[in-house]
Amino acid sequence: MKNPLLCLLAALLFAQSVFSQSRYVILPKPAQLTEQSGQYTLPAKPVISVEATDSQARSIAQLLADQLNKSSGYSPNITTTKAKNGITFARAKGAGLGAEGYTLTVTPANITITAEKPSGFFYGVQSLLQLMPPAVFSPSKVGGVSWTVPCCTIKDQPRYAWRGSMLDAGRHFMPVPFLKKYIDLLALHKMNTFHWHLTDDQGWRIEIKKYPKLTQIGSVRKQTMAGRYADNKYDGKPYGGFYTQDQVREVVNYAQSRYVTVVPEIEMPGHAMGVLSAYPELGSNPDKIVEVATKWGVMEDVLFPREETFQFLENVLTEVMALFPGRYIHIGGDECPKTQWRQSRFCQELMKKEGLKDEHELQSYFIRRIDKFITSKGRRMIGWDEILEGGLSPNATVMSWRGIAGGIAAARQNHDVVMSPSTYYYLDYYQVDSKTQTVPIAIGGFLPLETVYSFDPSVSDSLTADQARHVLGVQGNVWTEYIATPEYAEYMAFPRLIAVAETGWTPQAGRNFEDFKARLNWHKKRLDYMKVNYFGAPINSTFTYQMPKATAAK
């Protein structure tokens, strides 16, 4: 373009398109957003009004006020009288917004959020913050910002009720402050479920008062694999860590105030070497010395379906249910080798007695017993899709991870399912091609952002409309074999988890990857203020935690 005027015009058009695009950048994308001209300017003394009897709305208003105060230095006042020029929270009864829906109306004069339930207000606030300048996410005061909100009307509600992420604290312990940050990031993206993987072969990480050896012995491994599995090298350093029950309550309460439900996972009957190191009598042989695993993978030592084991598990689950008030208790159920059961006279006799034709049915017997116990306490059991093998327990919800087949099979049996296929939602997989680029070590598999975004959880080709109603939603999983630190967990989870969030929230017809990418680009400014080490973040080089050694994949 030689003509300087044309150049100027092009530059102006580009600037305008970036500006107008950045005026309404909300992730996940709302179901309906009508842009309007004009803007609301936050007054120096913002007023947020809530209904006098609405204590939950008040708590959410307080979260908004706190964030505005931190970033702008303004001191919002929360009142119960409707304010001119203010931000108003109003309950909208029977407006068809559902449990998590909201409307957000921004005019030059005021802002109104309506919702039927508190979670709707909470999500209205998340959208409102994303309509403000990115600096609103700063943990400290930012000067020179014009605190404006572009006018619009939003009517929004989620596509799916379960929008979650699993974080594996078993392979690597994740400290409580990081869990809170992770929960904040879930909430920012309107995700409502934090699946906390608390026990595994490589460590038991939750205090159980009745069984202190679980954490005294089961939470510590002698050493950890260093580098790739195939190298079979170890760091020679003991590794441990667990959450006290007080810390668990702290995390659960924190999550609750952000409308995130915490789902604990207690693995059984496999992935149990943490338990067996402390209580070997629950496995194949009470005299067998089982150590907390130092290797990754699937282990042969598993829990045995003895009465003592069920008693133990019921006692553990009783303490777990007292700590986690949510509806779902995850019992793992994945990757349980059957070798020891096959070789055990006890197991073979039990199978005969119970009329079980193979070890898969024995696993099903195991899970059914646990299901019955959890159901008797008014909760719901959820497990990985292996719980389908040998017959699905009557009240089980299935988390489909080995692709989508398990989810489809369960929905066809009228069981609820959460879609979490490794092929789309395993955020421990490489996000760039490790064959051509040198990146920190990951567990294998290649899962770029676009692939994550491309998943349609409805699997509508395979289910009738009635069956499709059993798809509760979506979940992105962060397994931590190769993810030793919070920073690295952020690097692997983000931005891919935001793509998961949008697949779970936004109607399929409203989604487009190019549009998502453009919004994400702007959104990264917010993540920068929150010091999120997303893949490609400019703050990468400033980490205090050590990143795993960078190696190209073999």
Catalytic residue chosen out of the listed positions 200, 207, 385, 386: 200
The answer to the question of residue 239 lying near ligand ACM (CB under 6 A) is no
Give the whole-angstrom CA distance, residue 285 versus residue 497: 42
Catalytic residue chosen out of the listed positions 189, 197, 271, 523: 271
- Closest distance of CB 17 from ligand ACM, Å: 42
- Closest distance of CB 384 from ligand ACM, Å: 4
B/e letters for 446-465, b = 16+ CB within 10 Å, e = fewer, are ebebebbbebebebeeebee
Residue number, 300 or 354, with CB nearest to ligand ACM: 300
| DSSP assignment letter at 389 | T
Residue number, 60 or 302, with CB nearest to ligand ACM: 302
Residue number, 187 or 382, with CB nearest to ligand ACM: 382
What tokens were used for 405? 């087949």
Going by C-alpha positions, the residue among 101, 136, 139, 148 that lies closest to residue 122 is: 101
Going by C-alpha positions, the residue among 88, 89, 154 that lies closest to residue 116 is: 89
The answer to the question of residue 423 lying near ligand ACM (CB under 6 A) is no
What tokens were used for 486? 């919070």
- Does 235 qualify as catalytic in the annotation? no
Among residue numbers 92 through 121, which ones bind ligand ACM (CB under 6 A)?
none
Question: Between β-strands 111-115 and 102-106, what pairing exists: parallel, antiparallel or unpaired?
Answer: antiparallel
Give the whole-angstrom CA distance, residue 171 versus residue 400: 21
Catalytic residue chosen out of the listed positions 335, 358, 361, 528: 335
Q: How far apart, in Å, are the Cα atoms of 1 and each of 4, 8, 124, 270, 483?
A: 8, 10, 44, 66, 48
Residue number, 271 or 470, with CB nearest to ligand ACM: 271
- Closest distance of CB 370 from ligand ACM, Å: 17
Give the whole-angstrom CA distance, residue 235 versus residue 548: 12
- Closest distance of CB 298 from ligand ACM, Å: 8
Q: Binding pattern to ligand ACM, positions 35-74, x when CB under 6 A?
A: ----------------------------------------
The stretches of 269-344 forming alpha helices (DSSP H) are: 273-278, 307-323, 339-343
How many amino acids of this chain bind ligand ACM (CB under 6 A)? 4
Residues whose CB falls within 8 Å of the CB of residue 264, separated by 6 or more in sequence, listed in order = 196, 198, 206, 320, 323, 324, 329, 330
- Closest distance of CB 485 from ligand ACM, Å: 21
Residue number, 149 or 166, with CB nearest to ligand ACM: 166
Binding residue for ligand ACM, selected from 194, 196, 401, 453, defined by CB under 6 A: 401
- Closest distance of CB 169 from ligand ACM, Å: 15
Question: Between β-strands 439-440 and 550-551, what pairing exists: parallel, antiparallel or unpaired?
Answer: antiparallel
Residue number, 243 or 479, with CB nearest to ligand ACM: 479
Task: Let me know: does 193 contact 176? Beta carbons within 8 Å.
Answer: no
Sequence-separated contacts (24+) of 244-248 with Cβ below 8 Å: 244/207, 245/206, 245/207, 245/209, 245/319, 245/323, 247/176, 248/206, 248/207, 248/323, 248/324
- Closest distance of CB 386 from ligand ACM, Å: 8
Which residues of 321-431 form beta strands (DSSP E)?
A: 328-332, 380-384, 397-400, 417-419
Q: What's the full length of the chain, in residues?
A: 554
- Does 314 qualify as catalytic in the annotation? no
- Does 359 qualify as catalytic in the annotation? no
Binding residue for ligand ACM, selected from 279, 384, 425, 529, defined by CB under 6 A: 384
Among residue numbers 342 through 381, which ones bind ligand ACM (CB under 6 A)?
none
Give the whole-angstrom CA distance, residue 448 versus residue 446: 6
- Closest distance of CB 277 from ligand ACM, Å: 20
Residue number, 291 or 334, with CB nearest to ligand ACM: 334
The answer to the question of residue 319 lying near ligand ACM (CB under 6 A) is no
| DSSP assignment letter at 221 | B
Q: Binding pattern to ligand ACM, positions 320-339, x when CB under 6 A?
A: --------------xx----
Residue nearest ligand ACM by beta-carbon distance: 334
Residue number, 384 or 534, with CB nearest to ligand ACM: 384
The site for ligand ACM (CB under 6 A) is made up of 334-335, 384, 401
Catalytic residues: 200, 271, 335
